[in-house]
Chains A and B, each alone.
Chain A
Amino acid sequence: MTVTIRSRRTAMAAATALLLAGSAACSGKAGSGGSGSSANGSDPAAGKTSYTLTADTGTPKGDLDSFTWSIFAEPPSLDYTQAFDYPPNQVLANVCESLLRWNPDLTTSPGLATDWKNPDPKTWVFDIRPGVKFHDGTTLTADDVVASLSRNMDPNVASVWANQYRNVDKIEKTGPLQVTMHLKSPDSTFLEYMAASPGTVESAATLSADGKDYGGPAKGVNCTGPFAFQSWQPGQSIVLKRFDDYWDPSLKAHSKQVKFTFIGDPTARVNAFQTGEVDGGWMVPPGSYAQLAPNVYFGKSTTVADEVVSNLSGPLGDPRVRQALLMATDRKGIINAGDGGVGEIADSLVTPDNWNNAPDAQKKAGTTGLPAYPYDKAKAKALAQQAGVHGQQVVIATSPLDTQTTIITQAIAQACTDIGLTPKIDTISADKYTALFTDPAARKGVDLFLTFWYTSVTDPLDMYSSLETGAYSNYGSYSNKDFDAAFEQAVGSYDPATRAQATQKAQQIALTDLPWLPLYFEPVSVYMGSKITGLKPSIDYLYYPWAAEIGAK
């Protein structure tokens, strides 16, 4: 249920593409990395096509006084109930902690809860870690957990994570360090979300004292993580300082301070990396991968670029046409041209890593033997001809958000033409594009649009929940009874094997019906300058205290 809209990555929408192109031409360094060039010559300016995932960048030689990290936008708030996007989450991950911890290898382990039990399918009992200090020196108790989690259910708070609490009836304290949650119906994903923002614990006293100002620039937050909030200069930076009473010695911060600076313009960010004004940052603009090599690292991710079919009653209503469209899409070409060659063609709407919590056999079954749609224009054209949609118009909505978006849209339009449809690219402003994800009226007359969709937990169900009949982000109003039944069965099963099998079934149906067209897996990218090391690149940076591991190189 996590959407990456990406309009925020590039506020200066129109100027961005120009700036990006301009900097490639202006800033002298030639592409240094990448030996294996692409086969068909449709290679991007970046010139780098080979990459490897790095699990660990090394052990720090020593501690640091401070390092500077860039974010592509200022967080709107540090309130965890509003934290759904890269900017707030990558800061909060180091300051606030959840009941469970999401690790760099995308497994989960105990966090502020040491243990949890499931005495019956509708009850979860959490034992809270003793002796944990908040940044103001007070000690964590069950009251803090009850107050923090309950906020997600308060309509006045309007938590962006309210949906994850839809099956929760009541949260109560059942001991000084024990909290019990009563569900309305069994929900196997609920526990997973306790490793993400929905499981965040804040001091109950701080929540009631700060009221409406909680999480804003003046008050900040008071949590239990390895870094404490120090200051927030609106429009400029957020500074965190090391918390010396942190409970977990293995994640005690190597740096006394971290300064997050907000740099929206991608080229400005790249320049700041090059001049050393900034030591690092997540989400490196793909056009600069080669330029910044070898300081760019790639890590595990749960992000898939998808073309969402938002109108299932138009020419794309016939599953054969959707299959044909995917078959006619040059996905390898998209990865090379749009993402500097970094990515893998996706045969599923989730990455293989989404299956990390499933038993090995189920993981294998969930990631292999899926319906495949290899690039084959002739076959695609024949398939579309059977459906008799020749000459019909398909509207593709796009926005000049970044170069990837533009390149992918062109490729999809080309694929439409190749199977006999008439593509019409509708270029809209960034805010209108964002509205496609939230406003059914904005989607009217639009057949296709692009999204980079990541899951916030290691579970395919986080993504597949969007395809259930009537789901909020079921943008094409897709409805398949067999899919719904399999999905519901998966959510309701606590047995990992049963659940994985039901998930697999839902996935098979989705990949045959293709209400969304999977394009490619996108790894996490991060730049780390020559002064720092220790980071473990992974999408878990949205919830794991990654900055604590960074030290001197």
Chain B
Amino acid sequence: MKLTHLVWLRRVGAMVLTLLVTSFLVFSSLYLAPGDPVAFLVKGRSPSPDQLAAIRHQYGFDKPFLLRYWDWLGGMLHGDFGQSYQLHASVASVIGARLPSTLLLVALSTVLIVVFGVGLGILGALRKGKGVVVLVTVGAAVPSFTAAIVLRSVFGVRLGWFPTVGTGSGFGDELHHMVLPSVALAITFMALVTRVTRAAMLEELGREHVEVVTSRGLPRAAVIRRHVLRNALGPVVTVSGLLISGLLVSTAIVESAFGMNGVGSLLVTSVDHMDFPVVQAIVLLVVAAFVVVNTAVDLMYPLIDPRVRAAT
């Protein structure tokens, strides 16, 4: 077996283990939460003992905890995420109906973060002016819900350029609906990536070998591309990876603000209603996204920096 195969196996093994441990933690922690899901299922009415027993049985609350976990895990492996307590449908269909708009939101924000974050960072490092620094400081300080309020009232309500609620139908309309939410979601992250890119670039620019190649008369563009940017990309990719995998969690506020009803806002309402199966599935989805993105970042390193490839 080749060494790289072993590395891969180890990675996949770690991924599975992470998911398994997380699944147990998520499953058990929700049962420690205050309140009884049955109380939510009866919705404030006066159930008879018969009814309570019927509800408990119907949702399997009368089974021991470990057995419930085992049933749940088994179901997951078969692609059955269970039945939502709150909504009258399977968890897979509840999440499936909301996932596309959330993924589009995350994808658009990712593009904004990478293109503008890195772009502005480079600009900030190469230009002497303070403009970018000020922009970054302001951007990093704007929470996404504030950005959402301002964008919505200026570009939605006052100027009427963009819709203020919903997700639209048809790709063009969906994109139109998604512009303001993705900007609101991306702003803070964009500023952080800009800051990291600028710092990394400045550090590389000050390095001896850059001065050497510059003094040898290599064109500035080539110096920047081959000697500065390439070396600076490591930390930029790491930070971007972390931020982007966190996007899924951050969508809740933006989705609520723009009446989008995606996975983020679903998570919040599900927590609110102790809809355990939905919460568990979303949390696992988020963890999986983290693991996948970070693995992708790991795999990108050797492509950026040949020295990393040599080491593994």
Chain A positions within 8 Å of B, measured between CB atoms, are: 1, 3, 5, 7-8, 11-13, 15, 18-19, 22-23, 26-28, 73-74, 76-79, 82, 84-85, 155-156, 158, 160-163, 166, 213, 215-218, 233-236, 261-265, 267-269, 271-272, 274-275, 277-278, 429-432, 434-435, 437-439, 442, 471-473
Contacts and interface: CB of A to CB of B under 8 A. Distances in A.
Contacts of B265: 11-12, 264
Nearest to A438: B39
Given A271-B153, A275-B164, A278-B165, A77 B88 contact: yes
A272 B89 contact: no
Which label, helix, strand, loop or mixed, suits the secondary structure of the A interface? loop
A540 to B, nearest CB: 21
* Pairs A-B, 7 closest by C-beta atoms: A472-B46, A438-B39, A77-B88, A216-B88, A263-B259, A234-B97, A235-B261
A234 B253 contact: no
A277 B39 contact: no
Contacts of B163: 275, 277
Contact of A218 (B48, B89, B145): B89
A76 B86 contact: yes
Interface in B172-213: none
Given A18-B145, A271-B156, A438 B42 contact: yes
B157 A27 contact: yes
A74 B157 contact: no
14 contacts: A8-B269, A8-B272, A8-B273, A19-B149, A22-B149, A158-B47, A158-B54, A158-B58, A217-B89, A262-B261, A431-B274, A432-B35, A435-B35, A442-B34
A271 B156 CA distance: 8
Given A262-B261, A437-B44, A472-B46, A234 B156 contact: no
Contacts of B44: 3, 5, 84, 434, 437-438, 473
A435 B45 contact: no
Of B40, B43, B87, B266, most buried by chain A (CB within 10 Å of CB) is B43
B178 to A, nearest CB: 14
Contacts of B253: 12, 15
Contacts, number: 197
A422 B271 CA distance: 33
Nearest to B150: A26
Contacts of B45: 1, 84, 160-163, 472
Interface string B211-254: 00000000000000000000000000000000000000000110
B89 A216 contact: yes
Given A18-B145, A82-B43, A269-B259, 15 more contacts: A1-B45, A218-B89, A236-B261, A261-B165, A264-B259, A267-B149, A268-B152, A268-B164, A271-B165, A275-B156, A275-B164, A434-B40, A439-B39, A442-B34, A473-B44
A442 B50 CA distance: 23
A432 B157 contact: no
Contacts of A11: 256, 265, 268-269, 272
Contacts of B87: 74, 76-77, 217, 234
Contacts of B33: 431
Contacts of B88: 76-79, 82, 213, 215-217
Q: Which of A26, A158, A272 has the most C-beta atoms of chain B within 10 angstroms of its own C-beta?
A: A158
Nearest to B55: A158
A471 B166 contact: no
Interface string B62-94: 000000000000000000000000111100011
Contacts of B258: 265, 268
Interface string B24-39: 0000000001111001
B93 to A, nearest CB: 7
Contact of B160 (A27, A236, A265, A275): A275
B35 A155 contact: no
A431 B42 contact: no
A268 B257 contact: yes
Contact of A235 (B42, B50, B262): B262
A71 to B, nearest CB: 11
B42 A19 contact: no
Contacts of A271: 152-153, 156-157, 164-165
Interface residues of B, number: 60
B273 A431 contact: yes
A15 B146 CA distance: 10
B71 to A, nearest CB: 18
B214 to A, nearest CB: 49
A269 B164 CA distance: 9
Contact of A158 (B34, B41, B268, B269): B41
B51 interface: yes
Contacts of B50: 155
Nearest to B163: A277
Contact of B259 (A163, A218, A268): A268
B234 to A, nearest CB: 36
B5 interface: no
A264 B269 contact: yes
Contact of A473 (B46, B252, B262): B46
B167 interface: yes
A30 to B, nearest CB: 14
B130 interface: no
Contacts of A7: 272
B48 A162 contact: yes
Contacts of B150: 26
A13 B94 CA distance: 22
A156 B145 CA distance: 43
A160 B53 CA distance: 14
Contacts of B34: 431-432, 435, 442
A166 B51 CA distance: 12
Contacts of A430: 272
A77 B89 CA distance: 9
B307 interface: no
B164 A272 contact: yes
A547 to B, nearest CB: 20
A233 B97 CA distance: 8
Nearest to B38: A438
Nearest to A7: B272
A216 B158 CA distance: 38
A162 B157 CA distance: 46
B42 A263 contact: no
B3 to A, nearest CB: 46
A275 B42 contact: no
Contacts of B262: 235
B43 A442 contact: no
Nearest to A163: B46
Contacts of A13: 272
Q: Which of A79, A156, A213, A275 has the most CB of B within 10 A?
A: A275
B248 to A, nearest CB: 16
A235 B266 CA distance: 8
Contacts of A218: 89
Nearest to A268: B259
